[in-house]
Amino acid sequence: MRGACRDRAAVGTDHESETHTVRVRRVPRGVVAAIVPWNLPIMLAVWKIAPALLTGNTVVLKPSPFTSLTGLRIGELLSTACRGRQCWPCVSVLRARRES
């Protein structure tokens, strides 16, 4: 993950002193597709969403049709967290249909 963030444009200086300088680099790569299988739906979704959002990307989450509605709830919580602030809708959730 660190290697993906080490790219050209430094966003800003976080801390500067006489001995060292700390710079934060956030270079978005684009849209991240997070396909989450049926086992451990919350953990695997968070493990895929968190690094993508920290680097400034948007996420399309596709939970398994065999899980509960946890993927939809995660997307709903993240979209309400962004509401009222000046930020982009960062997570979109694709609803899957179960074939019978």
- Supply the pLDDT for residue 87: 61
Q: Fill in the DSSP letter of residue 37.
A: -
Residue 92, beta-bridge partner list? 60
In this prediction, residue 33 carries a pLDDT of 92
Helix (H) or strand (E) holding 13: strand 12-16
Please give the pLDDT value at position 44.
92
Q: What is the pLDDT, as a whole number, of residue 94? A: 84
Give strand pairing partners of 93: 61
Structure tokens at 74: 């995660």
- Report the pLDDT value the prediction gives residue 84, as an integer from 0 to 100: 64
Residue stretches of the chain with pLDDT short of 70: 1-15, 25-27, 83-89, 96-100
